[in-house]
Amino acid sequence: MPRELHDVVFVDGVRTPFGKAGEKGMYAQTRADDLVIACIQELLRRNPGLPPERVEEVAVAATTQIGDQGLTLGRLAALLSGLPNTTPGYSIDRMCAGAMTAVTTTASSIAFGAIDVAIAGGVEHMGRHPMGEGIDPNPRIIAEKIVDESALVMGKTAENLHDRFPQLTKARCDAYAVASQTKLAAAYAAGRVQPDLVAVATRHTEKGWGLATADEPPRPGTTLAELAALKTPFRPHGNVTAGNAAGLNDGATACLLASATAAAELGLPVRMRLVSYAFVGVEPEVMGIGPVPAAEKALRSAGLSIEDIGLFELNEAFAVQVVAFLDHFGIADDDPRVNPWGGAIATGHPLASSGVRLMTQLARHFEEHPEVRYGLTAMCIGIGMGGCVIWENPQHADFGKEN
């Protein structure tokens, strides 16, 4: 029997404030699973018209699936969030694109008609679980020259990208990084970031109780001169610094997805419609170029061109990979359509959680820009991949019509 595909809509998204990894960070003694549980509970609180038993899947991503990020976290988080024991769940790993993949995987189940409502998200506590903790990469991948050893160090792949494209200068990347900090500070001052932040109670044996209500990594007021003086840890006289790359961070995200039919039945808001998505592989040594072919593939699938995209949320793992994307598509480094509230260089990048942050912010941008019909979320992914998801704005006059 032929199956009818169902439209998938983004109902709501939230995140914890992002913290700095390490003993001095605000989440130093807070469990990773408690971060994502707080997000799931907030989604349920914000959408009281959704009966908990209607949530049919919970997918939670983590790059380092060990300790309090392990043991089928999606299922455990569902139970600990108060969802009924009839709600299944699972864990997912596509490194930085974990939450993005949790969204596209559950969305595919909704589109197929297997489920109607799902929660997807991600968590990374890089202070408790540094990337790569406990792993044992097969030595053949280096010994047989399948990849260069630099492919396993993300900062070195960013330096390789500078080598590949000499026009992507350190000066351009530093300028982009300063702009990211400036835009995030302006968004905070205007109260735009705060509505989707989940306050998290924290406890520390020395610092006592606390309440995380704002991102910890931002450095407002950062100047070009300050960035120019930073060390280049991945290569002597290199281009990548702590100032033009995302840091090591802790945090979680979650979003609510539904079929358009279920959203209408339950009276849930429709903030975006999923149009298309794509994941691709690229040379691991220049993994930062991944969003380019991923976007090209997603655009082809949707029958769109880059000119149809009115808003971009690009993950800023490194400034150079964002500038490479913009360069390829002929978009100015300071184009106002790109990361209007800044990005991961300022906000932080808790690996597997970041994809849903991009989507939640894009949904907010859509509300402010009804003239924009399509938006794009994209990110580079470790070991040589890229991901892209294209969304449609329900505020647009032509929403839902054929192109």
Which residue in the list 129, 349, 365, 388 is annotated as catalytic?
Answer: 349
Which residue in the list 39, 96, 173, 255 is annotated as catalytic?
Answer: 96
Cβ pair 236, 243 in contact under 8 A: no
Torsion of CA 74, 75, 79, 85, to 10 degrees: 140
Catalytic status, residue 96: yes
Cβ pair 117, 97 in contact under 8 A: no
Strands 249-259, 272-281: pairing is unpaired
What does the block give as tokens for 361?
Answer: 């912010």
DSSP 184: H
Cα–Cα distances in angstroms (integers) from residue 183 to residues 11, 192, 258, 345, 368, in the given order: 26, 11, 31, 11, 16
Report the C-alpha gap between 343 and 185 in whole angstroms. 11
Residue closest to 129 by CA, chosen among 69, 59, 76, 60? 69
Report the C-alpha gap between 201 and 311 in whole angstroms. 34
What does the block give as tokens for 328?
Answer: 């390829």
The strand pairing partners of 8, in sequence order, are 259
Report the residue count for the chain. Answer: 403
Torsion of CA 326, 327, 333, 337, to 10 degrees: -30
300 φ, ψ to 5°?
A: -60, -45
Residue closest to 57 by CA, chosen among 5, 8, 103, 124? 103
Which residue in the list 173, 255, 380, 388 is annotated as catalytic?
Answer: 380
Cβ neighbours, 10 Å, residue 217? 25
Q: What residues are annotated to the active site?
A: 96, 349, 380
